[in-house]
Chains A and B, each alone.
Chain A
């Protein structure tokens, strides 16, 4: 679905992210792990053409099913964002318009992406059912729902848009662990039941380990290791990944 080649993101003269090769296939979750400043979020923003808006210079190639996204006009990128590539952010409530009821956000977003009006109610009902939210919740404003409910709402929106690619940037980091587990479960179903290609970005290797089919490790703007998830976690090949794996807090293992 997504094929990245020689992608570089620069601010001024400084290179903040460099990815030689990264593919995400349909029905696959690729985990992008790194600490603050590693370039993982910048990579995500570059895919969506958003790093450019922030003033970055982006070179290389990002293809969505053969369509080149780097250098695409803003007008054509807007048709790709949301509809084909959806993004889930860390702070779901902050990513929703606080002055609109969730229902309005839902309807406007679907209409904006060309979903016929008569289909909207039906898609909303189906998506909410899937993420286990009560339909009356749509009457609330973002501040009236919990962080977990807001994130489930955003996932329902992604489901209703039927996006092919989902970029999730730390989607569980701001949530309590019991809620985090529920959201991880939903993202897994987005892959298994809907075949979405997902780029899951997190600093938390343990969460990535539960979801990802493949793992890409970034540090200081560079990819330092990548491979099948089980291989990277069981036998990390570079010292930095080894340090990351060792730093994951474990229960029942003496420090």
Chain B
């Protein structure tokens, strides 16, 4: 049982998710960046992927969850408690239970602190180890994330990008979090390094029973690490469901475009899947309408609600049947199968 729950006294309801976001909206000045988003992350080991392109609101949602961003509406509950109401010790305990790993390992580390000290600082801030214990604990954590413990004496600029990201992960794990928010954790890394970091996340999840919210624009990364996938477009959830369903049979025209845009080795590029002259959304209807090949007048004025379509999958589209038919056409027209043959 986490300290957050113990401090607040309100235990998570049986079967409830570890993180429950309901009807979350976030504004930047007059502009709404996140619209009425619902999101659950069950207790670990469990991964939820938040998929979206730039400006889709995925990082804003993460910031709101971390209480780094004021919300315009809705609630965030963690382990049964209303995060917005946390104060003092309870808020500190929450910030310990929930850690974040950003895309840019360079910017996330203090350039003046050696790797071991960075990890030790997290232990100190949360009062988890005495000054004498810290160096050994830090070395052990670095070892857990696959680093040579002797790298504890190096400064960030003396480490490679992949090593720095491992230090950031070690620092996040130092405080034994229940949930980790991973914001594009591999996007800034070379592909071979990327593959090794993904393996590390998988191993840590299994070993430590971690739950995480993984933010990525990369569908293959989400497929590898997440049970559930949530697809955002312009601050709205346009589709969600079990990852394998969302990727094998994407129901929203945007998810389909995303799915077909991912270059795959051994599969020729598909015909164009979006309308590239992106018009400006009217602000009322479906935000994808200006780029959608299926858009009707109705789509431009009325936002479709998120509706269950079976198997835990839900889609916000006025034309779900036509979208399903479009997907069948798109994948059938593709000479090679949707799933690449080189297994």
A contacts, CB < 8 Å to B: 35-36, 132-134, 146-149, 152, 176-182, 184-185, 188, 203-207, 209-210, 233-234, 243-253, 255
Chain B residues with Cβ below 8 Å from A244 are 191-192
Known: A35-B192, A184-B263, A205-B191. A133 touches B269 (CB 8 A): no
For the complex, give the distance between the alpha carbons of A173 and B198 in Å.
Answer: 20
Contact: B339 with A247, CB < 8 Å?
Answer: no
CB-based nearest A residue for B218: A249
A206 touches which one: B217, B219, B265 (CB < 8 A)? Answer: B265
Interface CB pairs A-B, < 8 A, 29: A36-B190, A132-B276, A148-B276, A152-B276, A177-B217, A177-B261, A178-B261, A180-B261, A181-B263, A181-B269, A181-B272, A181-B273, A181-B274, A184-B269, A185-B269, A204-B263, A205-B265, A206-B263, A210-B268, A243-B192, A244-B191, A244-B192, A249-B218, A251-B262, A252-B339, A252-B340, A253-B342, A255-B198, A255-B224
Chain B residues with Cβ below 8 Å from A248 are 191, 264-265
Contact: B265 with A177, CB < 8 Å?
Answer: no
Closest beta carbon of chain A to B214's beta carbon, Å: 13
The A-contacting residues of B in range 273-313, CB under 8 angstroms, are 273-274, 276-278, 291
Per-residue contact bits, chain B 190-228, to A (CB 8 Å; 1 contact, 0 not): 111111001100100000000000000111110110000
Closest beta carbon of chain B to A52's beta carbon, Å: 27
For the complex, give the distance between the alpha carbons of A188 and B247 in Å.
Answer: 27
Chain B residues with Cβ below 8 Å from A188 are 269
Contact: B191 with A233, CB < 8 Å?
Answer: no
Contact: A249 with B217, CB < 8 Å?
Answer: no
For the complex, give the distance between the alpha carbons of A146 and B254 in Å.
Answer: 18
Known: A177-B258, A181-B272, A182-B276. A209 touches B263 (CB 8 A): yes
CB-based nearest A residue for B248: A252
Chain A residues with Cβ below 8 Å from B89 are none
Closest beta carbon of chain A to B270's beta carbon, Å: 8
Q: Which of A132, A148, A246, A248 has the most CB of B within 10 A?
A: A248
The A-contacting residues of B in range 252-267, CB under 8 angstroms, are 254, 257-266
CB-based nearest A residue for B186: A249
Contact: A233 with B269, CB < 8 Å?
Answer: no
Contact: A247 with B195, CB < 8 Å?
Answer: yes
For the complex, give the distance between the alpha carbons of A36 and B194 in Å.
Answer: 13
Q: Which of A134, A176, A188, A204 has the most CB of B within 10 A?
A: A176
Chain B residues with Cβ below 8 Å from A206 are 262-265
For the complex, give the distance between the alpha carbons of A205 and B261 in Å.
Answer: 15
For the complex, give the distance between the alpha carbons of A71 and B291 in Å.
Answer: 48
Chain B residues with Cβ below 8 Å from A36 are 161, 190
Q: A176-B53, A181-B269 are in contact. List 13 more A-B contacts (CB 8 A).
A: A146-B278, A178-B257, A181-B263, A181-B270, A181-B272, A247-B192, A247-B194, A249-B194, A249-B218, A249-B224, A252-B248, A255-B199, A255-B224
7 closest Cβ contacts across the A-B interface?
A: A249-B220, A176-B53, A252-B339, A35-B190, A206-B263, A181-B261, A247-B195
Contact: B195 with A210, CB < 8 Å?
Answer: no
Main secondary structure of the interface of A (DSSP, over half): helix
CB-based nearest B residue for A233: B265
The A-contacting residues of B in range 316-343, CB under 8 angstroms, are 338-340, 342-343
Q: Is B54 on the interface with A (CB-CB < 8 A)? A: yes
Closest beta carbon of chain B to A239's beta carbon, Å: 11
For the complex, give the distance between the alpha carbons of A188 and B270 in Å.
Answer: 13
Contact: B247 with A251, CB < 8 Å?
Answer: yes
For the complex, give the distance between the alpha carbons of A176 and B276 in Å.
Answer: 13
Chain A residues with Cβ below 8 Å from B273 are 178, 181
For the complex, give the distance between the alpha carbons of A246 and B198 in Å.
Answer: 13
Closest beta carbon of chain B to A229's beta carbon, Å: 10
Chain A residues with Cβ below 8 Å from B190 are 35-36, 203
Chain B residues with Cβ below 8 Å from A234 are 266
Known: A210-B269, A249-B224, A250-B265. A176 touches B191 (CB 8 A): no
CB-based nearest B residue for A172: B263
For the complex, give the distance between the alpha carbons of A110 and B21 in Å.
Answer: 53
For the complex, give the distance between the alpha carbons of A134 and B218 in Å.
Answer: 30
Chain A residues with Cβ below 8 Å from B224 are 249, 255
For the complex, give the distance between the alpha carbons of A207 and B268 in Å.
Answer: 10
